[in-house]
Chain A
């Protein structure tokens, strides 16, 4: 009976209840998104940079990876030297360039990576074959969509385009062998990869034996910082960056963000509680006469409390559940917007859903629902029976 009475009390003012539900849903959605965002930022950043286990980056002196067009020359010697450094397990050279291809009436400019397929840490193959020979390329979905090419197609690629002279440095025919997901470029950025020597040759003298960066993997059981120092000592022309240091710094910044997210989420929860409390208090005041009659015919205080608290729980429960759905949808929507930001890597997830988080948010809202019902329940159960009946009879 208390449950039914609570439900009926809420259904009596449908518009009002709907508005309150909406309010709670929004606050629940905000809370969930904040929690998901905090989790996503924390879990993802480190995993993203340390993808494939390359903990060190070697970039031209004074720059960060792909920070500028600067390159490292005499790459082959440097790769061999670094590979000999004790503690180093793998060295993956990467050269970045722009390539053009004409598709129908337009030119598609792609970010083009020259890599060594045996040690590359830039993409994962989704379909087709990897770079078996010097005429193979792999491309991301975006490039395929823009050029309208499919696996097995032959394409003409040009590198070193000069917009003033309208000349290119190198031009060759390739076969599209594979579709890949590139970790460090955005999904909206057309991207392809070919073997490093091919790209170096196409780039002419300026690119012969050049790389943009080296990714270095240290052994699992060695001190990465010591390896970094040894590589730095071996190559005076480059900057060697340990990602652990970088991620530690980012982690620290993210800690502030997580705290902020928590504060904002809690405020939104507080607003939700106040909303439910206000609504139920209004309802209880309106029904003062009915409640006094129930008490007069022998309904216990406990039953009245149960009924009013159930109202709060119903409101916050249904609101929270719809809020979780809204939160998931908005998180997905925001994720898509953020993923489309220029230069945002495809692997980076801002919002990470963990059932544990949803449980936490639901639990918090559940307790909030009980909290919200306590004041109006106390009010309702301690109404003076005779006095209220008399006031209602006069009214």
Chain B
């Protein structure tokens, strides 16, 4: 009868030592097994009985090497499934080449949660307000998934299918997040609006990446979090700017388009109207930071 956070349900805990072990376990048990990275999303969900209770928790933390973060100019950035949010926020490659990812990582939760939680877990739980998602969308990242049918690469824009829903099959796991090398001269930013100065979920998140060359806007990508069933790109706003001369008027127009393209909900965190208004404000700020300042 009670609907409060409960003690954890009884589960079997499995700690594979290799990827193969993990994958064959997934293959055998499918939806009865759940992958467990930092647990900062999964554990509260299990305690709240908000998710199907699996029979098995498959803890990835026994497998060596899954926490790697690597970078080279050709291949870009590769983030392993156990790379923590803290590791990403403090990684020099990220700080130097992907400011929007750095800003997203540092805006999340608290130091304790950042030390445990992962980017992989953040995307796989697929909540609309996930902070890493807009930045990854704007950077046109892709994810490498490994499962029974083999390996596939999915652009992040096709990964989310609804609130808490992704294209992941029951026996698949996310093996890597890949982010292409930044285009020369490009800039990026992630802006998060939340009530307090820390430890809040985003009311609105806006990421923008793009280049301004000789006053002309190029390769502009704008993504929004917390204002639609999934994190989204806003193509109409991008099209307004792409290849055009950067003026206050055009930034204004693109920001208005971003606000009109989203479909926020009314809930206890914020009203629909406020969320939409804030998409406009944050998009305008983000575009100014990327294209003007």
A and B assemble together:
no
